[in-house]
Each structure stands twice: as C-alpha cells, then as structure tokens.
A = this chain, B = another copy of it.
Amino acid sequence: MPDSGLQQHPAPRSLRERFNAVRLQTEALTEPLSPEDAAVQSMPDASPAKWHLAHTTWFFEALILAAWREGYRPYRSEWHFLFNSYYESLGPRHPRPERGMLTRPGLAEVLDYRHHVDAAFADLLEERLDDPDLAAMTVLGLNHEQQHQELLLTDILDLFSRNPLAPAYRALGPRAVAAGGGNTGWTDHPGGIVAVGHDGPGFAFDNEGPRHEVLLRPFRIANSLVTNGAWQEFIADGGYQRPEYWLSDGWRTAREHGWNAPDRWRQKDGRWFVFSLHGLVPLDPATPVCHVSFYEADAFARWAGKRLPSESEWETIAAGRSTSGQFADDGVFLPLPITDNFGFFGSVWEWTSSAYGPYPGFKTAQGAVGEYNGKFMCNQMVLRGGSCASAAGHVRSTYRNFFYPHQRWQFMGLRLAEGA
C-alpha cells in the first residue's frame, strides 16, 4: 500500500524514529562513494553528493533550529552561504554552478556537521514533542531530504557517465524480474468531473493542493510503461530523423545535441547497452525506457499514434492502483536499475502533457518555505509516478514532479494515452 505520511503507516513510527531513519539513509547512499566522487559536480543541473549531504542538513538548521531554538548558533556560520540552495529570502547564495569548487569542507567535515545537527535536532524534538508546527516542518524537512536522496543518485549517475572507465555505483545483484506480466492493455475512463490533488491527512507538498475538480473527456491510458523494446522500434523507424513527430523546440534540441537514442544508451558492436548505477549493462527490451526527455516522449507518442496523458488523467487512474513492489520500507529502498514494473507506477517518472502550474487557489506560504515549489511554475512539465530511486513514501498518486522538457538525467520514462 502506498504511503506518504505519518498517519498512514500501519505502525506509525515516532517522528524521532523517522528522522533517524531518513538521515541515516542519506548517509548510507554515500557509502559506495569516495571523497572524490562526493565532491565533483558533473553539470550545473547536478550537485555534488557532498553538497546534498550538507544542504539537507542546512535545511534543518536554517529553517528549523534557527527558528525554534533561541540563540541557536550555527555549526559554522560561514557555511550558510554555501549550502542555501535557492531561497532568496534567506540571503545571497553560492552560485549553483560553483558547487563543485567546494573541496572544503571535506566529506568527513560534512558528516560531522550532519551529526552535530542531528544531535541538536534530537534534543529539540525531545523538548518540543507536542509542537505541531515543529512536527510539520520536520516532516517537510524529511520529505525534502528524501527528494535529495533521489537527486544524489541521479547526479552520481550523471557524474559516472562522464567517466570513460564507466564505474558502477553498486554491483548488480541477482534480480527477480517479473516485468509486470499482467499489466498490458488499457484502462478506460468515461470522463466527467473528477477531483484531483491532495487533501488527505498524510503529508503532501504544497503544490499537490488544493484538491479541486477538473472536467475530463473520455480517455484511456496504458496499463504499462513504454519499454526499451518499443523504443528500439521507434529508433529503427527513423523516429529521431523525422521532424513530423517532433515539437519545434524538441527537434532543434535533438539536432543540437545529436540525440539518436535515450540518454545513457550506448552502442557497442551493434548492440545496445545502458549505463546505469550498476555500470554498463545490456539493454533489456522488456523494462521501461528511461532517461528520455519530454521532447522525445512526446515524439514517441505521436509516432505511436497516441499522446501523453494529462496529469489529471494520470492521477485519476493511478489513485486506485498499486505501486511497484520494490519498496519494502520507506527507510530502506534500493536504487535498482529499471528492472521491474510490478505495480502500476513507481519504476520511472512519467512525463505528462501538462505544463507545471499552480492548482486553482494555490497560495504560496509566507517566508522561505514559500519558495519551495511555487516559483518554479513556468517552463517545466509535470511528471508523475515516482522512480526506483524515489523514497517509497513519495510514490503516491498526487505527487507532482517537474522538470524542463529537455532534461534527461532523471529516471524518466512515459506511458501512452488516447482519447476514448
């Protein structure tokens, strides 16, 4: 059962337990990394792993400890400038493309920083057990950190993809791949007025609400994601060379970058391989295609005579469906390659046809938290679902992920839809 918040757990853990679990999980993700791996920034879109470790800690320090603890003294006041990501209201920041220049503080120092803040935070939670605002902000901080857990992995994958030695983040273990046997076919929906958006008791980001009604026309949506095998057919049919399938911006982008396959695909001696967190592995035609941009997803859909679903359509269907079974627990997820698709969603993020914007009645919060999602509501497209690298609690039907239509370095794929 999908689960995204405190209340929904069969055995709800204490906030303290959750805090510990999430914080430890982030550090666990960096275990396969050398100090060098953790320091380098592969491109402006990505951040060093060490920066993710520090920024998520800064979030607890700058947005919670500094507000709740009178006289709280930052661990290192000069780091505030370094680890603020994009909060204009919290002052000037180190420029994003320069994050990879910060060889100091080193990985060990950043881990010390984490432990210092963890201890201070544990004391705070202990003392203010009943403060609902503190609990809410803490849950936000934990969800924020879980988002960065996924980014940490996608950013490491991008970094390793730049290395001609093709290093693996983690060796590939035995896989039990079922490839979602019964999930073929389509689900039909008669249209009409439906409600979308978050409105339950569990945690959700501000951009998931307010819950509101939308008017759908009859449509149907595929039960499974587009696979690598289908994408090979698109390539073989000249999909990357035929402008009639492409948006104008997409065609120009594809020409400029010389795209002729998804990101991470590499051809050797006529065979396709995929560079993954497990290194270079043979392409599996049965698993969902991954690392495609919105432009490619849209072109594929047109080539297939279909279209991408809108986010409302997607959510309406996904609301009652199961997620991928790989998430045993929201504290212990496995960044597997894209190898299974047991549930309806949760293997790769799914591009929708919806531009990212505010829901009707959306209001940004006061203060720094107000910058969390709202100010990005332009130029980006909504993705739904969640990926193999998402925290289990994030794989819910109302979650709105968003990226620019040319971006490919996240675990991104697609599902088809069509008018009824």
Contacts and interface: CB of A to CB of B under 8 A. Distances in A.
Nearest to A167: B104
B353 A104 contact: no
Interface of A: 34-40, 42, 50, 78, 81-82, 86, 88-89, 94, 98, 100-107, 159-160, 162-165, 167, 193, 212-215, 217, 243-244, 246-251, 294-295, 298, 353, 355, 357, 360-361, 370, 375-379, 405, 419
Contact of A163 (B104, B164, B167): B104
B361 A419 contact: yes
Contacts of A379: 249, 379, 405
Question: What are the nearest 3 A-B pairs in CB distance?
Answer: A355-B355, A88-B243, A36-B39
Nearest to A215: B215
A81 B50 CA distance: 28
A56 B34 CA distance: 23
Number of copies: 4
Contacts of A104: 34, 36-37, 160, 163, 165, 167
Nearest to A104: B167
A100 B103 contact: no
Contacts of A361: 217, 419
Contacts of A100: 40, 100
B40 A247 contact: no
B88 A42 contact: no
A40 B103 contact: yes
Most chain B beta-carbon neighbours within 10 Å: one of A100, A101, A214: A101
B107 A36 contact: yes
Contacts of A213: 215
B243 A106 contact: no
Contacts of A294: 378
A162 B215 contact: no
Contacts of A357: 353, 355
Contacts of A298: 378
A382 to B, nearest CB: 11
Contacts of A215: 193, 213-215
A41 B38 CA distance: 14
Contact of A164 (B34, B78, B249): B78
A369 to B, nearest CB: 12
Contact of A102 (B38, B163, B217): B163
Given A103-B159, A247-B376, A294-B378, 8 more contacts: A35-B35, A36-B106, A40-B103, A88-B243, A88-B251, A101-B163, A103-B163, A378-B405
